[in-house]
């Protein structure tokens, strides 16, 4: 919870895309780009999953360029249409015929009306003229001939609705299939039609059914993806061409609205979910969206060469070039692919898709009983997915590294897209997914941007505070959780180091200032790199001394071990520097290091004029005292017992038990020799012998101590420590220690 509260602003920023996506989903702030992206995803899936095979059940009779060239320009005379209908039923024996065209005007191409006007006017006095006109009426009344060809046959005529300002109407509409009362007081969003263009009365009365062929293009890109099954006009509902043909094929079942059963959705959920076709106790549900439309189940590329449906030229049928019975039991649609007749639509598959083939696809889909569906609960689904994905990202991204944030974002998008695709493939559900994908992308981008800006600022602030003391890698670590670091004073267990150049005063007296400066810079630069390389914090440089500590500002559990390894590496670095100085003919230098682990006060301390991040306390003072003892004992490093206990990975040699100035109690001091992995049998033997010498020393067994020291000096003749104790034994023989002596050495000076 602390992590979440600490990242509150970042979480809020990451939630912003979720809020915007929710406003889009519920329609308060619709974003066209998201709808367009959903359309692109749907189009891509459609192209990837369409069958691409020929549906032999439906045939399209094409009024193509060839037909227009042979028969004449459109509209054709109705006697041609009558001949076409008779040919299809009498010679081809088709199952059903539908017209993706409208016959809204009377056919005067035969001249019958003019002859009748003459018979009633100028030629009324001519003997036999009127009788001859009456005799020709049957042959010349092309509309009647066409109507007769339709009577008693399974034919569905086409018509269209309009929504212009004038609300013009023409022709006779068929009877509606459903009244407004069937909705039970509910309302349905549908296209606002206020006019129509229908067939003339003789044709409308002759055909058993008629259906509108309007196609509603998407408002976002003008692409036809759906066709309405029902249209509301003047308080009644009319069926589409495809639905009328399907109903005629299935015995003209009754059309009823399909609403969800009241249950967990509640009574307030009254969205139309389907159109129900009922007959004889059985019913068929056709899923529709809230605009009474269905997604067209496109089978493949459109047109005569598309391979989805067979195209037959109308002129070939009229000229008898199609073998009788070749179209037997086929469902036939009459339409056009001629560009001049302007029945080409923009669809997901083509920008010049024949309008008649959109109806053919829908009829085939109705026959298959599988139509992709955009259910009304898509909004609820979108909200649930958005909230779940958005909350996961908002709560998790601020806590993750950039790489893991990328992985989580990709995982969320993959899961959401995978679920959405599975619902499409397995259940034919077309549900929105673009809003979630875009939300996830923007949530990631905003989270990373905010993190970069804020962390960059935090890094700059921390760098200003700690950059001169703390290595860059520790600053990077601190930036990840800047609230945990401050300059405020606190008490912690730390390890402090004092490193002093020996004999600096004598060296400085023999060197010009520039050379002295170069020496100090060389030594301090190398030692500083080693300290920072082991996560140490530089406290200050004091003349020829450098002070550092471990465990702050970044907590380091192994601060003692790191300080010891640093001291050993520094000793090695000084040997390397001395090798370079020896080659240059310069005298060697030495350093003494004091290490102590204990409770210290750490923080930003100083005056209003100058401040620094430093440590103070008795433990710090002891570290300084120990550094001063290193030369006496002939070692580079002197560490306290507390440091030794917390650095078990090294080989130690106990030096003494000392009571330094300012400390009432004696402390045991040690020097680290190497890591445990670097030890040898000879070194272990030497240390065992040394422990025997120390024991004899503290037991005041001077003879035994002498024996052990002689053995040690034979092994390491140059070791100052053994000579120091040998001299102390001589002194003790002449001036024995007082009673109760604990074997410690007291130092009265710093």
- pLDDT tens digit sequence for 620-657: 999 999 999 999 999 999 999 999 999 999 999 999 99
Sign of CA dihedral 724, 730, 732, 735: negative
Helix 702-715, helix 681-698: angle, nearest 10: 160
pLDDT at residue 263 in the model: 47
pLDDT at residue 604 in the model: 79
553 upstream amide cis, omega within 30 of 0: yes
**CA distances for 330 relative to 57, 91, 92, 484, 486, angstroms:** 5, 13, 9, 79, 84
Q: Which of these, 224, 231, 232, 210, lies nearest to 100 by C-alpha position?
A: 210
Determine phi and psi for 647, rounding to 5 degrees.
-130, 65
221 Cβ neighbours under 8 A, 6+ residues apart: 36, 39
Q: Which of these, 388, 216, 205, 223, lies nearest to 290 by C-alpha position?
A: 216
pLDDT at residue 458 in the model: 64
Report CA 665 to chain centroid distance, whole Å: 64
**CA distances for 269 relative to 260, 261, 273, 631, 676, angstroms:** 8, 9, 11, 90, 76
**CA distances for 384 relative to 14, 22, 377, 389, 505, angstroms:** 18, 10, 11, 8, 77
pLDDT at residue 595 in the model: 98
pLDDT at residue 707 in the model: 94
Provide the residue ranges of all domains of the chain, joining segments of one domain with +.
58-104+155-368, 486-677, 680-750
232 Cβ neighbours under 8 A, 6+ residues apart: 180, 188, 190, 191, 193, 292
pLDDT at residue 358 in the model: 97
Give dist(CA 503, CA 497) in Å, integer: 19
Determine phi and psi for 55, rounding to 5 degrees.
-95, 110
pLDDT at residue 265 in the model: 46
**CA distances for 298 relative to 45, 65, 294, 347, 355, angstroms:** 11, 24, 12, 9, 12
Which fold, 486-677? Alpha-Beta Plaits (3.30.70)
Helix 402-427, helix 434-466: angle, nearest 10: 170
Q: What is the mean pLDDT of the chain?
A: 88
Q: Which of these, 255, 371, 350, lies nearest to 307 by C-alpha position?
A: 350
Determine phi and psi for 400, rounding to 5 degrees.
-105, 155
pLDDT at residue 381 in the model: 92
pLDDT at residue 596 in the model: 97
pLDDT at residue 4 in the model: 53
Determine phi and psi for 303, rounding to 5 degrees.
100, 170
pLDDT at residue 267 in the model: 47
The count of other CB atoms within 10 Å of the CB of residue 323 is 9
User: pTM for this structure?
Assistant: 0.67
Task: Give me the residues of the chain with pLDDT under 50, please.
Answer: 1, 135, 263-268
pLDDT at residue 721 in the model: 94
pLDDT at residue 610 in the model: 73
């Amino acid at each position: 919870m602390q992590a979440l509260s600490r990242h509150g602003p970042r979480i809020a920023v990451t939630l912003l895309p979720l809020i915007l996506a929710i406003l889009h989903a519920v329609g308060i702030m619709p974003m066209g780009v998201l709808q367009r992206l959903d359309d692109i995803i749907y189009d891509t899936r459609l192209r990837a999953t369409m069958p691409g095979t020929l549906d032999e059940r439906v045939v399209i009779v094409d009024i193509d360029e060839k037909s227009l060239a042979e028969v004449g320009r459109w509209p054709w005379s109705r006697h041609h249409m009558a001949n076409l209908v008779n040919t299809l039923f009498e010679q081809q024996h088709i199952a059903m015929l539908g017209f993706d065209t409208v016959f809204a005007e009377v056919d005067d191409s035969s001249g019958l009306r003019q002859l009748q006007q003459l018979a009633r006017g100028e030629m009324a006095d001519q003997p036999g003229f009127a009788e001859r006109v009456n005799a020709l009426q049957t042959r010349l009344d092309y509309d009647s001939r066409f109507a007769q060809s339709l009577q008693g046959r399974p034919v569905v005529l086409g018509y269209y609705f309009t929504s212009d300002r004038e609300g013009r109407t023409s022709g006779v509409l068929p009877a509606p299939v459903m009244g407004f009362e069937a909705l039970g007081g509910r309302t349905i969003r549908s296209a606002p039609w206020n006019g129509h263009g229908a067939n003339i009365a003789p044709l409308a009365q002759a055909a058993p059914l008629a259906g509108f062929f309007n196609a509603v293009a998407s408002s976002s890109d003008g692409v036809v993806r759906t066709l309405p099954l029902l249209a509301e006009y003047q308080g009644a509902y009319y069926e589409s061409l495809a639905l009328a043909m399907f109903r005629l094929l299935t015995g003209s079942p009754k059309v009823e609205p399909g609403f969800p059963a009241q249950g967990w959705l509640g009574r307030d959920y009254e969205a139309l979910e389907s159109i129900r076709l009922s007959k004889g106790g059985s019913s068929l549900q056709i899923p529709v969206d809230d605009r009474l439309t269905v997604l067209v189940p496109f089978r493949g590329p459109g047109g005569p060469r598309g391979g989805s449906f067979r195209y037959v030229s109308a002129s070939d049928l009229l000229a008898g070039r199609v073998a009788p019975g070749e179209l037997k039991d086929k469902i036939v649609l009459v339409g056009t692919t001629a560009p001049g007749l302007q029945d080409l639509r923009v669809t997901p598959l083509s920008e010049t898709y024949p309008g008649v083939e959109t109806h053919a696809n829908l009829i085939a889909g109705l026959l298959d009983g599988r139509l992709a569906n955009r259910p009304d609960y898509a909004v609820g689904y979108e909200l649930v997915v958005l909230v779940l994905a958005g909350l996961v990202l908002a709560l998790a991204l601020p806590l993750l590294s950039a790489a893991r944030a990328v992985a989580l974002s990709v995982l969320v998008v993959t899961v959401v897209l995978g679920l959405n695709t599975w619902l499409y493939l397995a259940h034919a559900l077309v549900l929105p997914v673009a809003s979630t994908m875009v939300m996830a992308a923007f949530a990631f981008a905003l989270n990373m941007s905010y993190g970069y800006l804020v962390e960059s600022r935090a890094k700059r602030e921390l760098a200003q505070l700690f950059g001169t003391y703390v290595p860059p890698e520790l600053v990077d670590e601190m930036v990840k959780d800047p609230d945990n670091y401050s300059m405020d004073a606190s008490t912690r267990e730390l390890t402090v180091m004092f490193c002093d150049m020996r004999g600096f005063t004598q060296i400085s007296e023999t060197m010009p200032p520039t050379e002295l400066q170069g020496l100090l810079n060389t030594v301090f630069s190398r030692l500083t790199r080693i300290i920072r390389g082991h996560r140490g914090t530089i406290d200050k440089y004091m003349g020829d001394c450098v002070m550092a500590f471990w465990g702050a500002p970044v907590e380091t559990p192994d601060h003692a071990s790191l300080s010891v390894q640093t001291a050993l590496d520094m000793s090695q670095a000084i040997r390397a520097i001395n090798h370079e100085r020896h080659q240059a003919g310069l005298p060697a230098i030495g350093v003494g290091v004091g290490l102590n682990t204990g409770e210290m006060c750490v923080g930003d301390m100083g005056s209003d004029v100058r401040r620094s991040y430093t440590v103070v306390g008795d433990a710090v003072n002891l570290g300084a005292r120990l550094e001063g003892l290193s030369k006496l004992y002939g070692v580079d490093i002197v560490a306290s017992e507390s440091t030794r206990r917390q650095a078990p990975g090294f080989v130690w040699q106990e030096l003494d038990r000392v009571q330094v100035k300012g400390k009432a109690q004696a402390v045991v001091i040690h020097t680290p020799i190497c890591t445990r992995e670097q030890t040898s049998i000879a070194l272990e033997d030497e240390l065992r012998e040394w422990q025997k010498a120390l024991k004899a020393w503290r037991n005041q067994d001077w003879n035994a101590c002498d024996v052990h020291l002689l053995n040690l000096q034979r092994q390491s003749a140059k070791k100052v420590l053994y000579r120091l104790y040998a001299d102390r034994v001589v002194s003790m023989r002449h001036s024995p220690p007082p009673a109760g002596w604990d074997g410690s050495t007291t130092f009265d000076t710093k």
